[in-house]
Amino acid sequence: MHFSTLAVAALPLVANAIPSLSSRQTATKITVDLNKKYQTMDGFGFSEAFQRANLIVNMPEPKRRALLDLFFSTTTGAGFSILRNGLGSSPDSSSDHMNTILPKSPGAATATPNYVWDGKDSGQFWVSQQAVTYGVKQFYANAWSAPGFMKSNGNDANGGTLKDEWKQAYANYLIKYISYYIDAGIPITHLGFLNEPDFTASYASMLSNGAQAAAFMKVLRPSLDAANMSQVQIVCCENTGWQQTNSMYSALKNAGGDQYLGVVSSHEYTSRSSGSLSSTKKGWQTEYSDLNGGWTTSWYSNGGSGEGLTWAQTVYSGIVNSNLSAYIYWVGTQGGNTNEKLVQADATSYTVSKRLWALAQYSRTVRPGAVRVGTSGGNFKTTAFKNVDGSVAVNVINTGTSAATLTVAVTGFVPKNATSWLTDSKNDFTGTALTVASDGSVGGSVPARAMLSFVLAPAAVGNRTV
């Protein structure tokens, strides 16, 4: 979505409260079952498309470094592990357009293209280079549209569809774009060729149905393989909502496209994630935000759409109810007075929202490759994960009006040490070292309307910095 031209109202985020916990006199026990396994996580992230990356690039030091730390540091920031880059299609960079690497038509679909690479890519290239230095290993290149001359309407904006005769040229175009990144040591791991194909926008946009998407993937997948890019997964289809994604995915599957697909993706603007797809593919929530709400840095005020606690629950819902493997917020930095971004920024300063720290509770503790496991006990919104390094992360959201004392135990697992991490109105991912009891359990207190994450490190790993 592009905030200035949104035609469909975003659905409100829901922040449900549980009954008061004031009657609790003893610790509530949460038990983690490592034998009950769900989805494997790829991570959490954001985008800096439509030239938003330039807000980071042009921020004066030391604030620029502080911004990068906020997004990517696994010791002081959110530790995001996925960066979604916009793959440009516009012939120029006016307004906030993402410029194309092929500004002029070669004249025919089979003619030799004259690609132009400016080394900046609307600021995204530099930000990606910096992300690599923080250890980010997943980069998602996502096109909003093909160049206008490849489309039925002759324009990269206002919808239109990809012409059949330009399928191979469009595949080559996408491959050329990601090669600039890969050759520079930036690993493009995922590639999307559509964005909201069910929505005609006045900015870069391209329409498609499931059968059309499947037909293009039948060209794109072998083209990637022939270019020695078999590691790049195809992502589709970035619909405006999950109901639309369900419908389009069904048509795509019926048209034989599922075998070429790596990740099923969607946004949540018109319909929220509410169940898993009938697919063996991973599901990614690749774009969502509170597009229209007035800017807030609040963790909790009244359960509003832009509040941090609301977003903690939004991510929880996607992970638990839809088995999502990744959750990507729409945009990291932006000006203006809406909640579209995680960080409000102008030319010389920035302000951080609690939404960033809500996502950090997951991103810092649940690392790529973690497997979600079972939990039981307590009237909280609880998730647990077994990380690749052997540590166990337990995320607890208390939406009640009273604090609660917790005991966390992992069946068959005795931690060497443990840490809790708290975000609420007064804390931004504040860490506390915990004492491990003789039975291997750990305890902690979660304040009212707060999120507390436990990280339990196994004896073989020792201290784990998250």
In sequence order, what are the residues at sequence separation of 6 or more whose Cβ sits closer than 8 angstroms to the Cβ of residue 371? 37, 38, 39, 40, 41, 385, 386
Domains of the chain and any CATH numbers: 28-35+372-458 (2.60.40.1180), 42-367 (3.20.20.80)
Instruction: Give the burial class of 412: count Cβ atoms within 10 A of its Cβ; 0-12 exposed, 13-18 middle, 19 or more buried.
Output: exposed
Q: DSSP character for 259? A: G
The per-residue pLDDT for 352 is 99
The per-residue pLDDT for 134 is 99
Q: Is 72 helix (H, G, I), strand (E, B) or coil?
A: helix
Q: Which of 253, 268, 163 is nearest to 206 (CA)?
A: 163
Rounded Cα distance between 25 and 397, Å, is: 19
The per-residue pLDDT for 340 is 98
Specify the pairing of strand 326-334 against strand 290-294.
Answer: unpaired
Rounded Cα distance between 107 and 91, Å, is: 15
The per-residue pLDDT for 265 is 97
Q: What is the mean pLDDT of each run of 10 residues along the chain (466 residues)?
A: 42 36 66 98 99 99 99 99 99 95 98 98 99 99 99 98 99 99 99 99 98 99 99 98 95 98 97 82 98 98 98 98 97 98 98 99 99 97 98 99 98 96 99 96 98 93 46
Which tokens is 114 given? 């004259």
CA dihedral 346, 352, 358, 360 (to 10 degrees): 80
- Entry pTM: 0.94
Alpha helices in 142-269 (DSSP H): 167-183, 210-226, 242-254
Rounded Cα distance between 308 and 299, Å, is: 4
| E strands present in 370-427 | 371-376, 381-386, 392-398, 404-410, 415-423
